[in-house]
A and B are shown apart, each in its own frame.
Chain A
Amino acid sequence: MRRPVMPAAPPKPNRVALDAAFTLVFSQGRSPPSCPVPNDTDLLNRIRDKVTNASPTECRDALIRIQRLSHDVYEVCGEFREGAYGTGEDAQAIALSLLEEKCPGLDEKEYRTAFAVGMMWTAF
């Protein structure tokens, strides 16, 4: 009997490429991820320019992870605004831990930055 093939573990993200992608997506003012400029190709090229020793696959993986975060943070911040995590001091901590659960692999400062930017995106 053939043994079932286990799915391969997702590749470990390249930390430097991840930081570069995060800076690009979350330091561009208030533009939500829907903004067509810059587009994915432009963002990917910028990451590759910044992290020359990372492979194209690693750069692409970093962009995908950060774009997923940018979409998840929009939803989480929208729910936070509606009081889905409560209204007390713990509400923000719950939102941050949910973000970490949905998009693992970043550090605390990055989750906090993403949350603040998400709160700006969802204000409008």
Chain B
Amino acid sequence: MAQSPDSSSWNSKTACYAIIVILACIAVTCLVFAATCAGNSMPVPCRTDCPSGAPLIPVFTAPAEKIAAFKDPLFTRQLYAEAVTYEPLLGTQGTQVHMGFWSGKGNHGNMLRLLDAINEGPAALAVPPGRAIWDEGVNAYYNFPSYSQMMNEHWYERAAGVNGTVIVFGRAYTDPHTVTFAHADEIWGQYSARYTDMAEPIAQATGVPVKTWCFVQGAKANRVFYTYELPQLRLLEQKGAVEVYFAKTPDADWTKPEDWINGTANAPPPTG
């Protein structure tokens, strides 16, 4: 049946009203949603200078409490559990696990390069696979939660505080505890010792001694490696849990035996 001109006009008006109503509904929904978000403290739209990620809030743990926790061998089990949660292959029979160590200027970057060469090279896809970790995490990207927690505790910023006022991310805070550089050094040292000890549960789980790669050229005797990590490596080596290699040059290649010195008995002497 053909529509009359009047009927067509009515339909056009109805369509217009319908569109207006739909648009109004969308606008109201958006306003309600925005108000709800604001009420739930949703983040405001970010300007270009907004930091990315969650806000970084310092944690003021007491240094004595932290040192006691890290001296406890149970912390090694905790760190191992974190590692296996992130990378189950670290606790799987047959995996060749590599652990990185570094000390001294420039060696952090050298260690990082070796870590990536293993985790992103042919060794990662070999059968059985290889995996490389360091004290920061299970690779160059995913940190251990315990490591992240320690970073959030800002031990060195707190040790550098003046009259109880510490500067963290440019903001001033009052620290409820007195923290010294000796505290900060011991906290990081004990953490590093327990990280080293993690080679034992890894070797037990995989059935393969852990290969440990050390970039320590130019490192000083009174820093973390020679004070906390090397003594643990010696003990683990005696137990057969680790094989220890020291880089001869900053660009030592882990696949080239001639680039490395073997065994803690042949550890390069520290400087200073």
Q: Which A residues lie at the B interface, using CB under 8 A? A: 27, 29-32, 34-37, 49-50, 52, 74, 81-82, 92, 109-110, 112-113, 115-117, 119-120, 122-124
Contacts and interface: CB of A to CB of B under 8 A. Distances in A.
A113 B157 contact: yes
A37 B160 contact: no
Contacts of A110: 170
A45 to B, nearest CB: 14
Contact of B184 (A37, A49, A119): A119
A63 B223 CA distance: 29
Given A32-B108, A36-B113, A50-B49, A119 B160 contact: yes
A37 B140 contact: yes
Interface stretch (B25-33, B85-93, B98-106, B233-241): B98-106
A68 to B, nearest CB: 15
Contacts, number: 79
Interface of B: 48-49, 102-110, 112-113, 136, 140, 151, 154-157, 159-160, 162, 167, 169-170, 172, 181, 184-185, 188-189, 222-225, 272
A99 to B, nearest CB: 12
B170 A34 contact: no
Contacts of A123: 156, 184-185, 188-189, 223-224
B160 A35 contact: no
Contacts of A49: 48
Given A32-B105, A34-B109, A123-B185, A117 B223 contact: no
A110 B172 CA distance: 12
17 contacts: A27-B169, A30-B108, A31-B108, A35-B108, A35-B109, A50-B49, A92-B162, A109-B167, A112-B167, A116-B157, A117-B156, A119-B159, A119-B181, A120-B188, A123-B184, A124-B108, A124-B223
Given A29-B136, A52-B48, 6 more contacts: A32-B106, A36-B112, A116-B159, A123-B188, A124-B223, A124-B225
Contacts of A35: 108-109, 112
A49 B49 CA distance: 10
Contacts of A82: 272
B151 A29 contact: yes
B160 A116 contact: yes
A15 to B, nearest CB: 13
A74 B105 CA distance: 8
Contacts of B170: 109-110, 113
Contact of B108 (A34, A92, A112): A34
Contact of A120 (B49, B156, B222): B156
Contacts of B167: 109, 112-113, 116
A50 B105 contact: no
B48 A116 contact: no
Contacts of A113: 157, 167, 169-170
A32 B109 CA distance: 8
